[in-house]
Amino acid sequence: MFQPPTKLDDLDDLLAWAAHYAGYCLRSSGMMPPTLFLIGAEGPVMFMPASLADGREKDNFATTARLLCIAHGATVVVMALEAWMKTAKPNKQLDLTEPPSEAFDREEAVVLMGESQTGQQQKFLPIIHSGNGRFFGFGEYPGPAAHTMAGRFAQLLPPKAPTDEHRAIARAILQTNGVPRGACWAIAPPGGGRLLENPGFAGFFHCHIIGFPD
C-alpha cells in the first residue's frame, strides 16, 4: 500500500499523495471519486465535482480543473480517476477498436495523470479485490511508463504562469459557475489534521485542512 509522502513540493510528491488517497477511499468506501489535486501559490489543495454522470459533466469538470489551476497559480497538478483498463497479451497486439469498458478481460484501475512545468507523468494502479469483493490493494502495472497524455483531462496547467489579473478572472468565472458552493480542500502536511479555512481564498471556497490515516 502506498504511504503518504513526507512533503508536498513537486509532482512525485503529489502523485504519491494521490495514490495514498485513492487507497484510503477504496478501503473506506469501495470507490475512488474523481479528484483534482494541485500545488498552488497558497499550498496544495484538492477538489471533487458533485457528479460526473455524462460527457457534459466530464467536460465541465475539465474546464473547472483548468480554471482552478489558474485561480490557484498551480505549478503541479494530478487528476485521479477510476477507469477500465486492458493490456496486450504476450506476443499479441492490443485491439484498439474495442473500448476497455467492453473488453471481456478488462481490469479496474485508478489512473493518475500528473503534470508539472517540466513534463507529464501517468500512473496506472490496477485494483485488486479480495474474495468478498472488498478492496485488497493495488497490483503492478505491466505496461511501460507513460509520459504523454491526451484527452479532456490532459494539459490542465496553463502554458504560462498566470498573472494576478488572470487569477482574479478565473476566480470570478468559477464563482459565476457555482464552484464556491462545492468543496475545495487544502491538503494538510503529513501528520496534520486540524480544520482551518484557507486564508488565500477566504469567503470564496469552503476550504479545510484534512489528513488521511495510513
Distance CA 81, CA 112 (A): 7
Instruction: Give me the count of residues in the chain.
Output: 214
Judge contact between 210 and 189, C-beta under 8 A: no
**Domain boundaries in the chain?**
11-210
CA angle 197, 201, 207 (to 5 degrees): 40
Dump pLDDT digits (tens) for 101-146.
Answer: 666 667 889 999 999 989 899 999 999 989 888 999 898 876 666 6
Crossing angle for the helix pair 55-71 and 164-176, nearest 10 degrees?
150
Distance CA 14, CA 44 (A): 9
How far from each other are the two terminal CA atoms of the chain, in whole angstroms? 9
What pairs with residue 84 in β-bridges?
Answer: 108
What confidence score (pLDDT) does residue 107 get?
81
Q: Which three cell numbers stand for residue 22?
A: 485513492
At residue 188 the predicted structure's pLDDT band, cuts being 50, 70 and 90, is low
Q: DSSP labels for 75-130?
A: SEEEEEEEEEE--PPTT----TTS-GGG-TT-EEEEEEEEEETTEEEEEEEEEEE-
At residue 84 the predicted structure's pLDDT band, cuts being 50, 70 and 90, is confident
Containing H/E element for 24? helix 11-29
At residue 186 the predicted structure's pLDDT band, cuts being 50, 70 and 90, is confident
Distance CA 168, CA 71 (A): 7
Order the strands of the 43-47 sheet from edge to edge. Answer: 135-138, 119-129, 107-116, 76-85, 35-40, 43-47, 184-187, 209-210
